[in-house]
Structure 1
Amino acid sequence: MSVPFGRSRILLVDDEAEILVALTDLLEDEFDILSSTDPLEALSFLKKSPDIAVIVSDQRMPNMTGDVLLSKAREFSDARGILLTGYADLAAVVAALNQGRIQFYAHKPWESDSLRAMVREVAAHHRLERALMVERVLLHGALESVPMDVVFTEADGTVLRHNMEVEAHPNAKGDIEEDSLHGDALREEIAAMREETKQSGSATRLVSELTEEGLRWHEIIRQTLPWPRNASGVPFPMPQRWQMSYDRDVTDRLAMEERLRQDDKMHALGTLAGGIAHDFNNLLTAMLGSLELLQDMTPASNPTVTKLFENALESARRGTVLTRRLLEFGRPKPMALRPVDMVEMIWSMHDLIVQSLSRASDLRGETGRCDLDLSAVPRDLVVPPVLSDSGQLEMALLNLCINARDAMQEGGVISISLTRDVTPDGGDHIMLSVEDQGCGMPPEVVRRIFEPFFTTKGLGSGTGLGLSTIYGFLQRSGGDIRVDSMPGKGTRMTMILPICQEDAPEEAHDLRSEPIVSGKLRILLADDEPGVRLVTDQFLSQDGHEVVSVGDGAEVIAHLEAGEVFDLVVLDLLMPGMGGRECGLILAAKYPELPVLYVSGYADPQNLPANAFVLGKPFTPQELRDAIGATLRKRR
């Protein structure tokens, strides 16, 4: 380390003013000078000016000798001392030197060049000491405050300095070995990085460690230092140099990055789903509708035919459920966010959950029985309501319970608990946890469980969309979900739900609770898919309505402009040419009293007229009747 440059401040002390004038003349070109004829005044100068680097003091002075002055000065100042003395004071000078109170002494009268060089050297030494102290303070401050574990070692792993909060025991030589600072999971990686650093000068690794608190991730960066050096100042060869290691806990950062990647996957899947959902739902609408119509037309005398119809209908309905779940990633349906009493909701689902935990394989002895434990949710538990969609929240809880059941082939207890907690972002939340005693999951599985179509269940036992749906629902409702799992020790899934801060909105009126509008209607039906158009036409005709079917929105406008009168327009949203949105806006402007029921395989009500009703495909005859009734009642 080179000596810092700078103009040092010197304190001159002598009871003879002439001596002070001579010393000032000698030194003032290189140094800032303070002087005093009184040792007590000189001590006050030192207290007021902590930047004084050198004290040049006479030994023989009234009230206080020079060596005593320098001794008192050392109690509160780091200034270095030079003593001016006659031969008769040599014993006192030797004693002061031995006690470390002075660095040099000079005889009176002094040799000017020699004294100037002496002061120059002591001032440089003081500046160097100050610089070293600053370096030491900065190093200690950095080690104490930096949010990571820092370790300095020799090439063989002997620890020089570290800031880790661990109890390390010295070896037989009294040294601390680096391996003793780390747990078993990291020692092998640290040793390998030490050897790699000897060869390449640096090493970086991302290492996982399984702790009592769960899986933690360490980003470890290791590099050599340009020390020790030989007599010529050249650093030793790389394998012999000291090393420095930074160990930063990046668990939270990786979790955030994983969440962002998960959101990107959800968005990409939603875009893909939206592109295919319309056509897929059109196919399902035609299939389901045709099957239901055929079933009504076919006598029930043949049980085999009836069973085949039911099998085909059930398969088509499963395709409907799968498609609707898939659509929730891209354009999720609006949620009815209202205050939800969690204790009431959980106990109201008790019988349903218990029934869902029962498996036919339990009765056959192939799997163990699963029991539900609600002891952590007593009926008199008081927790504030959460703001959520009660229907979707109930489905999420049921889904987690079923997943817990499937993880316990040998049976066990599924525990549900409710707690109130403050999340790291400062929000006040309710934690709804479902904990099982199952097989648990390794970290690589935990990282993927929210990916769409990822499942740990056997072929045909799950779609891989359950947890993805829960994740999407919680994200949209201001919540989150946390997973704690270890192989062989079970899994705890915790839904983080925001506490309701506002009064509940008024309950939406259930349109289906009113009687459906009766009577024969003249209906204009527009759909570009012939199969869907045929099925919808038949549904309406069976109810006694008169139906006129067309293939796009332009034909709808043409029929109305020709003077035809209709009681209702059933309009598909996505059609080539003039689609349902464009056609609906024209109808709202030219025929504002004409009711319009929108139908879509990819329900997106944006840019639709106010109070528009959208019926999702595929639909049943009853759902179509309900939608017609709701649409007509809105026009009252």
Structure 2
Amino acid sequence: MKRTEMSVPYGRSRILIVDDEAEILVALTDLLEDEFDILSSTDPVEALSFLQKSPDIAVIVSDQRMPNMTGDVLLSKAREFSDARGILLTGYADLAAVVAALNQGRIQFYAHKPWESDSLRAMVREVAAHHRLERALMTERVLLHGAMESVPMNVVFSEADGTVLRHNFDVDAPVNARGDIEEDTLFDEALRPEISAMREEAKERDEVMRLVPETTPAGVRWHEISRQTLPWPRNASGVPYPSAQRWQLSLDRDVTERLAMEERLRQDDKMHALGTLAGGIAHDFNNLLTAMLGSLELLQDMTPASDPMVTKLFDNALDSARRGTVLTRRLLEFGRPKPVALKPVDLVELIWSMRDLIVQSLSRPSDLRGETGRCTLDLDAVPRDLPVAPVLSDSGQLEMALLNLCINARDAMPKGGTISIRLASETNAAGAPCVILTVEDQGCGMPPEVVRRIFEPFFTTKGLGSGTGLGLSTIYGFLQRSGGDIRVESVPDRGTSMIVTLPVCAPEREDGAVPDRAETQPSRPLRILLADDEPGVRLVTAQFLTQDGHHVVSVPDGADVISYLEKGDPVDLVVLDLLMPGMGGRECGLIVAARYPDLPVLYVSGYADPQNLPAQAFVLGKPFTPQELREAICTTMRKRG
């Protein structure tokens, strides 16, 4: 840390000369005006008025014998409102008054009349320098006091042995036998060992810094404590003045909120990095799933249902592929977060509508054999008539989040227990109204090091093969996108509380409009031009369309789409995969829109980057079912119609 020496303000000091004889004033002005700015007066009362109007006066040179007021009385009155230093001019007969004034501290020097010029000039020069130094010390004191009172940290100046010189703590600290405060008594007991160790370390090093935790009833608070030695000033030659004592400065800043913010930023960085990774592999993975699911569904339709085992194997394969689809979509939410449809949600109604589903989810297959304890759901804190304002959220994603939290709570209680759901109306840090949704279990709890990582993607406390580590990460991302938040309170062997904050919304204005429902099947067979670089996906998609009676032409590239359209063959709809080598779907779609503005285009993608889509584009995500494909075609055709 750069050290700054105390600066002393130099320059021309202002001098006030008071004498009832004008000739004396002229002589003293001639003597001193080369070095000082001069004010003068023959009237002591007027001189006091000058002092009140000019607080920068450094020295008062006053005659002792003056009508109406003597010099020592003038200097005494001046000290009531001015820090100017006094020099008394007197004759031999006034020595008694001079001695009295010196004893009372009203003057610093006196000079006889007639004076010796060099001696008086040196005297004034020294008193002015003394005044400048006092002003500098006062300025440093005021600045230090202001800094200590205003800085958002605990500041302690101490001697090397820990004796406190200054501090800004608002505490009653005990004193030692000498009446001094010992530094350790200022700090919380949990911090004292670190303070003592840092004090000894600072004797050998210029500066030390540590991050120290303090456990409080409200949780762990983090202190950033720095300590440095304060060397003595240097002389004119740049050599420090010798001293066996080196003072120390201790700064204690509460950085709990800052560390929490940094942790959130690191979490966001991890989520972004995972999203980039997931987006890179999702397209190929979804192409594989599309081909697998589509082929299985087509084979199932073509295979007679006479053999129950064949049906069971088809169902098993389809179910496994669909679970892979769910996992892929969870991964994609980090790189391409699912858009949230924010609408007013009645939390009380949502929770009670999910009651049966949650209760069923709390049962384990092994419960029937008595190998694990039974989990029960407690909704006593959420009565049907609970007055809670609607929140602004996505009801579908909020339902999945609540179900996920309840399942996690169940898994934390292998011996059984109660899962409690509570609602409360509060205000957030910004003063805005919000609703707090709490899911509380009586399970094994988590240590602080696990709590800090609980929202990291792929981090899980479950056994191998029992969890993906994506559930809480998905909830975290959904809440961040919808203006909410989530935090964890957990104590090992006592349980965990997952606390969700949701913003309250004003009721939406209802205009009575009812959206039209889309048809699920085009009114006539269509001539469809299909482009996808994956042969398996192209085959399955073409087969889906052919089964619905459409005429399909398949090509592997966007350039082939343009070439086919240039031949002039009639086409009712173009189905484009967004990511293809060569000419991709976006580039191809822009060309189609420019050359054939009335031709509808349906985009299909396993990973659609919103920034990579043409305006007003409709995108069908992979993998998709035949019904989802039909609905997407109807929506695309209706928008163009």
TM-score range (shorter-chain normalised) is 0.7 to 0.9
Q: Secondary structure at the match of 1:199?
A: coil
Q: Is the 8 A contact 2:519 2:631 kept in 1?
A: no
Q: Secondary structure at the match of 2:46?
A: helix
Whole-angstrom CA distance in 1 between matches of 2:437 and 2:170:
33
Instruction: Give the CA deviation at 1:608.
Output: 5.1
Output the TM-score relative to the length of structure 1. 0.88
1:632 equivalenced with 2:637 (yes/no): yes
Cα 1:566/1:115, change in 2 over 3 Å: closer
Q: Which residue of 2 aligns with 1:575?
A: 580
1:379 equivalenced with 2:385 (yes/no): yes
Q: Is the 8 A contact 1:433 1:492 kept in 2?
A: no
Q: Which residue of 2 aligns with 1:293?
A: 298
Whole-angstrom CA distance in 1 between matches of 2:14 and 2:383:
74
The Cα offsets for residues 479-538 of structure 1, whole Å up to 9 and x where unpaired, read as 444445555565444444445479569899777654533555554433222222232333
Percent identity at matched positions?
A: 78
Q: Is the 8 A contact 1:338 1:504 kept in 2?
A: no
Whole-angstrom CA distance in 2 between matches of 1:421 and 1:257:
23
Q: Which residue of 2 aligns with 1:428?
A: 432
Q: Is the 8 A contact 1:226 1:236 kept in 2?
A: no
Q: Which residue of 1 aligns with 2:191?
A: 186
| Aligned with residue 46 of structure 1, among 44, 51, 57 | 51
Q: Which residue of 1 aligns with 2:274?
A: 269
Cα 1:94/1:312, change in 2 over 3 Å: same
Q: Is the 8 A contact 1:570 1:598 kept in 2?
A: yes
Cα 1:624/1:214, change in 2 over 3 Å: same
Of 276-285 and 475-484, the range deviating more from structure 2: 475-484
Of 190-199 and 369-378, the range deviating more from structure 2: 369-378
Q: Is the 8 A contact 2:60 2:86 kept in 1?
A: yes
Of 555-564 and 311-320, the range deviating more from structure 2: 555-564
Cα 1:26/1:613, change in 2 over 3 Å: closer
Whole-angstrom CA distance in 2 between matches of 1:430 and 1:532:
46
Q: Which residue of 1 aligns with 2:425?
A: 419
1:390 equivalenced with 2:395 (yes/no): yes
Q: Which residue of 1 aligns with 2:372?
A: 366
Whole-angstrom CA distance in 1 between matches of 2:422 and 2:497:
10
Instruction: Give the CA deviation at 1:371.
Output: 3.2
Whole-angstrom CA distance in 2 between matches of 1:329 and 1:243:
49
Q: Is the 8 A contact 2:29 2:38 kept in 1?
A: yes
1:117 equivalenced with 2:122 (yes/no): yes
Cα 1:585/1:34, change in 2 over 3 Å: closer
Instruction: Give the CA deviation at 1:44.
Output: 1.6
Whole-angstrom CA distance in 2 between matches of 1:275 and 1:562:
35
Cα 1:375/1:422, change in 2 over 3 Å: same
Whole-angstrom CA distance in 2 between matches of 1:619 and 1:285:
7
Q: Which residue of 1 aligns with 2:66?
A: 61
Q: Which residue of 2 aligns with 1:158?
A: 163
Q: Which residue of 1 aligns with 2:106?
A: 101
Q: Secondary structure at the match of 1:247?
A: strand
Q: Which amino acid aligns with 1:366?
A: T
Instruction: Give the CA deviation at 1:299.
Output: 4.4
Output the TM-score relative to the length of structure 2. 0.87
Cα 1:527/1:413, change in 2 over 3 Å: closer
The Cα offsets for residues 65-98 of structure 1, whole Å up to 9 and x where unpaired, read as 3322222222111122223334444333333222
Q: Which residue of 2 aligns with 1:451?
A: 456
Whole-angstrom CA distance in 1 between matches of 2:120 and 2:616:
99
Whole-angstrom CA distance in 1 between matches of 2:468 and 2:510:
35
Whole-angstrom CA distance in 1 between matches of 2:309 and 2:201:
72
| Aligned with residue 223 of structure 2, among 208, 218, 224 | 218
Instruction: Give the CA deviation at 1:281.
Output: 0.6
Of 183-192 and 483-492, the range deviating more from structure 2: 483-492
Cα 1:120/1:454, change in 2 over 3 Å: same
Instruction: Give the CA deviation at 1:116.
Output: 2.8
Instruction: Give the CA deviation at 1:439.
Output: 4.5
Instruction: Give the CA deviation at 1:26.
Output: 3.2
Q: Is the 8 A contact 1:405 1:414 kept in 2?
A: no
Q: Secondary structure at the match of 2:160?
A: coil
Q: Secondary structure at the match of 2:249?
A: strand
Q: Which amino acid aligns with 1:572?
A: D
Cα 1:362/1:109, change in 2 over 3 Å: farther
Instruction: Give the CA deviation at 1:39.
Output: 2.3
1:538 equivalenced with 2:543 (yes/no): yes
The Cα offsets for residues 348-404 of structure 1, whole Å up to 9 and x where unpaired, read as 444444544455566636346343346378735253x44433322333333334334
Whole-angstrom CA distance in 2 between matches of 1:74 and 1:540:
103
Instruction: Give the CA deviation at 1:131.
Output: 0.9
Whole-angstrom CA distance in 2 between matches of 1:44 and 1:609:
82
Cα 1:605/1:220, change in 2 over 3 Å: closer
Q: Which amino acid aligns with 1:174?
A: G
The Cα offsets for residues 119-177 of structure 1, whole Å up to 9 and x where unpaired, read as 22222211111111111111111111122222212112222212233332223332222
Q: Which amino acid aligns with 1:474?
A: L
Cα 1:129/1:138, change in 2 over 3 Å: same
Whole-angstrom CA distance in 2 between matches of 1:210 and 1:236:
43
Q: Secondary structure at the match of 1:152?
A: strand
Q: Secondary structure at the match of 2:338?
A: coil
Q: Which residue of 2 aligns with 1:135?
A: 140
Q: Secondary structure at the match of 2:203?
A: helix
Q: Which residue of 2 aligns with 1:234?
A: 240
Q: Is the 8 A contact 2:406 2:419 kept in 1?
A: no
Instruction: Give the CA deviation at 1:284.
Output: 0.8
Instruction: Give the CA deviation at 1:19.
Output: 3.4
Q: Which residue of 2 aligns with 1:243?
A: 248
Cα 1:407/1:505, change in 2 over 3 Å: farther
Q: Which residue of 2 aligns with 1:599?
A: 604
Cα 1:24/1:297, change in 2 over 3 Å: same
Of 493-502 and 100-109, the range deviating more from structure 2: 493-502
Cα 1:54/1:571, change in 2 over 3 Å: closer
Instruction: Give the CA deviation at 1:202.
Output: 1.6
Q: Is the 8 A contact 1:408 1:436 kept in 2?
A: no
Whole-angstrom CA distance in 2 between matches of 1:550 and 1:214:
62
Q: Which residue of 1 aligns with 2:3?
A: none
Whole-angstrom CA distance in 2 between matches of 1:497 and 1:2:
55
Q: Is the 8 A contact 1:377 1:417 kept in 2?
A: no
Whole-angstrom CA distance in 1 between matches of 2:20 and 2:357:
100
Q: Is the 8 A contact 1:427 1:498 kept in 2?
A: no
Whole-angstrom CA distance in 1 between matches of 2:213 and 2:511:
50
Q: Which amino acid aligns with 2:106?
A: R
Of 66-75 and 602-611, the range deviating more from structure 2: 602-611
Instruction: Give the CA deviation at 1:346.
Output: 4.3
| Aligned with residue 78 of structure 1, among 67, 83, 89 | 83
Q: Is the 8 A contact 1:511 1:630 kept in 2?
A: no
Cα 1:19/1:628, change in 2 over 3 Å: closer
Whole-angstrom CA distance in 2 between matches of 1:488 and 1:305:
48
Q: Which amino acid aligns with 1:84?
A: L
Whole-angstrom CA distance in 2 between matches of 1:381 and 1:308:
50
Whole-angstrom CA distance in 2 between matches of 1:327 and 1:590:
34
Cα 1:530/1:63, change in 2 over 3 Å: same
Q: Is the 8 A contact 1:87 1:107 kept in 2?
A: yes
Whole-angstrom CA distance in 1 between matches of 2:383 and 2:154:
41
Whole-angstrom CA distance in 2 between matches of 1:271 and 1:504:
39
Q: Is the 8 A contact 1:83 1:105 kept in 2?
A: yes
Cα 1:570/1:50, change in 2 over 3 Å: closer
Whole-angstrom CA distance in 1 between matches of 2:241 and 2:312:
86
The Cα offsets for residues 280-311 of structure 1, whole Å up to 9 and x where unpaired, read as 01111122222233333444454444433333
RMSD: 3.5
Whole-angstrom CA distance in 2 between matches of 1:376 and 1:69:
82
1:200 equivalenced with 2:219 (yes/no): no
Q: Which amino acid aligns with 1:113?
A: D
Of 139-148 and 20-29, the range deviating more from structure 2: 20-29
